[in-house]
A and B are shown apart, each in its own frame.
Chain A
Amino acid sequence: DTGVSQDPRHKITKRGQNVTFRCDPISEHNRLYWYRQTLGQGPEFLTYFQNEAQLEKSRLLSDRFSAERPKGSFSTLEIQRTEQGDSAMYLCASSVGQGGETQYFGPGTRLLVL
């Protein structure tokens, strides 16, 4: 068990470009969460999956954001037409749902939009 991994760890992009992040959860963890953390703040919930189904999306997740989890394994988070306000750390966490509250976080992807 190597923990939750995220790729890339850092991403610098120009405003208006699209970016995609990947998260590989702990194997056999059926729940996967995406959070966003801005400087000096706690992580804020964006969305979560139970297996391949996306069950909840925060109002923070505008229509420029889309997340997928094909086959219930890894997940991707795509941001289209990036804006400077999207600059943040994007964190992924996984857990065993229905009784397993402990969420294990990955190292995050730090996005800087110029």
Chain B
Amino acid sequence: QQQVKQSPQSLIVQKGGISIINCAYENTAFDYFPWYQQFPGKGPALLIAIRPDVSEKKEGRFTISFNKSAKQFSLHIMDSQPGDSATYFCAASIPPSNTGKLIFGQGTTLQVKP
């Protein structure tokens, strides 16, 4: 119940294309769903996040779509660029009133070809 399942494991997209990464969860106590971007040798950096009372959130080229009934959420990267090549992790958070700890997916390695 604490797991977050992420797919695909790896993704290759042409420059200018749309990258889509999916995640699914079981624990309905999760109330915050961030996406992190990680470059080799670096710590994860917050990209965008959403709460379950919102179905979509957009920040620049990055959009989260959230389906509460299906317990699924996804990251869409529009107009993908070679600089977006990185590993992306979805995560879910136990409420901060409890621990606030993050449960991460397994990660998706994105390669954007020029």
Chain A interface (Cβ within 8 Å of chain B)?
4, 31, 33, 35, 40-45, 48, 55-56, 91, 93, 95, 97-108, 110
Say whether B46 faces chain A, with CB atoms less than 8 Å apart.
yes
Enumerate chain A residues within 8 angstroms of B103, measured Cβ to Cβ: 45
Enumerate chain A residues within 8 angstroms of B97, measured Cβ to Cβ: 98
Chain B interface (Cβ within 8 Å of chain A)?
6, 32, 34, 36, 41-46, 49, 89, 91, 93, 96-97, 99-107
Q: Which residue of A lies closest to B2 (CB)?
A: A45
Choice from B6, B34, B96, B101 contacting A99 with Cβ under 8 Å: B96
Q: Which residue of B lies closest to A104 (CB)?
A: B46
The 3 A-B pairs with the shortest beta carbon distances in the complex, nearest first, are A42-B104, A105-B43, A45-B101
Enumerate chain A residues within 8 angstroms of B42, measured Cβ to Cβ: 107-108
Least CB distance from A37 to B in Å reads: 9
